[in-house]
Amino acid sequence: MNSKEKEVKGKGEGKEEDRFRQILRIINDNVSYDWRIVAKSLKFSKIDIADIEKTSGKVEEQSWNMLTKWRGDRKLNGRILNDILDALKECRFNRLADLTTRIAFSQSSIDDILALHVEREIRMRDILLKVTDNVHNEWRRLAVSLRLNKADIAKIETSFSGRTREKCMRALYKWRSLVGLQEYKASSVIRALKECGLQEAANEISRGPICETRRRKKGELLVQLRGESDDKDKAFKNYALNKVLLRLLDALEEQDKIGTHPIVSLFQDNRRVILDQVSRVGAYLSVICSTKSDVRSLYELYKSGELQAKVNEILVTDDIMEELGGKNFSLKVSISEQEQKLCEGELPLKFDNSMNEYFEALPSSRTNRRKIDPVKPECVK
């Protein structure tokens, strides 16, 4: 083999190495707080898991150490991918398994695939919100059509008594966590609505396509938000944080400022500037946390004092409610008109001591759960 052939082969192996590492980073971002479950599916013994726990006090690093230990010196190939995909599906990370498959077998760049994936998530979230507006008290029928079992429905009933709209949204989130990317689409929801006799709601969803221009602008802003850093490890480490910041776009859209407000030109600049701008236009941020990484990222924003926008409410999806402190756990911030006037658009929110203690204990045993009191806003004079 001559020197040119060696050079070409070396470049090819380098690209495969980078792709494999990036795939593991994406998996790590999504399963870090449940890495022990994934480790068991990957045939790690209790002794192996205990040794990994000793390597670091941070759960993200423990998860990454587990994945790199599993990988060893193996190279990316079909058999290795099937092993990790089977493990994810066994742990009910179906959507993550589908996304990993697309990334692994597509010739497109990972950043492009992720941008399209999150754009689709935004579109589906808008559709799910519209479903809750039209279903109301009939959410149980819809839940059955979406193949939720009796235990899932009973858990939603007991956790959110008296709030039918929230029950409906929790049922949709539960369905979202169970299905793959192929089934997670508007037509699946419309079909389920028709199956349970909610024809009017199905027609309403079918008649209301989301504005293509707004979807495109959100997709463009997402790419700007994630940046074009050469440090791929840092980019993927901040992925969960970016998902939280992405919710700011929803707040702007509610005020019809997605294409006109100067924040659009600031997304490539300092994050603090972005957040301050959103705060000054009086935007309300509704954050939906679908993974523990979302909750952790949101907490880090508060802890650093970076988030200055007024937070109307924070919703934690039903599938991680129990892991975050029990069925009664909720993290909601309601802001009165008087507080808005006092703060004049600047309302830093702080977690109380119980929340600090909770997050410090988060990497410990899954059985170490505690109830957390709702966070109350503190106005800084």
Mean pLDDT of 124-136: 81
Do 41 and 156 lie in a common domain? no
Do 73 and 163 lie in a common domain? no
Do 184 and 97 lie in a common domain? no
Looking at 97-106, 141-150, 189-198, 254-263, which range is the least confident one? 254-263
**Domain final position from 173, 207, 241:** 207
Strand partners, 314: 287, 331
pLDDT value of residue 269: 36
| 139, pLDDT greater than 80 | yes
pLDDT value of residue 161: 66
Task: Assess if residue 278 is contained within a domain.
Answer: yes
**Domain final position from 54, 84, 107:** 107
Task: Assess if residue 218 is contained within a domain.
Answer: no
pLDDT value of residue 378: 36
- Tell me what percent of the residues of the chain surpass a pLDDT of 70: 42
**Domain final position from 107, 129, 163:** 107
- pLDDT band for position 23 (50/70/90)? confident
Question: What is the tens place of the pLDDT at every residue in 38-88?
Answer: 888 888 888 888 888 888 878 778 888 888 888 887 776 667 778 888 888
Of 62, 40, 67, 38, nearest to 51 (Cα)? 62
Do 198 and 116 lie in a common domain? yes
| 186, pLDDT greater than 50 | yes
Do 92 and 126 lie in a common domain? no
Do 236 and 357 lie in a common domain? yes
pTM summary value:
0.40
User: Domain range for residue 72?
Assistant: 3-107
Task: Assess if residue 215 is contained within a domain.
Answer: no
Task: Assess if residue 169 is contained within a domain.
Answer: yes
d(CA 271, CA 156): 36
| 7, pLDDT greater than 50 | no
Q: Which residue has the higher pLDDT, 283 or 76?
A: 76
The residue to which tokens 């726990």 are assigned: 53
| 150, pLDDT greater than 50 | yes
- pLDDT band for position 117 (50/70/90)? low
Do 302 and 338 lie in a common domain? yes
Do 301 and 326 lie in a common domain? yes
Task: Assess if residue 212 is contained within a domain.
Answer: no
Task: Assess if residue 177 is contained within a domain.
Answer: yes
Do 299 and 234 lie in a common domain? yes
- Count Cα atoms within 13 angstroms, Cβ side, for 311: 26
Write the CATH number for 82.
1.10.533.10
From the number of C-beta atoms within 10 Å of its C-beta (0-12, 13-18, 19+), residue 286 rates as middle
Do 7 and 77 lie in a common domain? yes
pLDDT value of residue 162: 66
| 193, pLDDT greater than 70 | yes
| 276, pLDDT greater than 80 | no
Mean pLDDT of 12-40: 76
Contact call for residues 267 and 221 (beta carbons, < 8 A): yes
Give every CB contact of residue 236 below 8 A, 6+ residues apart in sequence: 22, 25, 26, 29
Do 247 and 329 lie in a common domain? yes
Arithmetic mean of pLDDT over the chain: 61
d(CA 8, CA 4): 6
Do 62 and 155 lie in a common domain? no
Number of domains the chain contains: 3
pLDDT value of residue 265: 36
DSSP string, 105-156: H-SS-HHHHHHHHHHHHHHHHHHHHHHHHHHGGGHHHHHHHTT--HHHHHHH
Question: What is the tens place of the pLDDT at every residue in 300-321?
Answer: 555 555 444 444 334 444 444 4
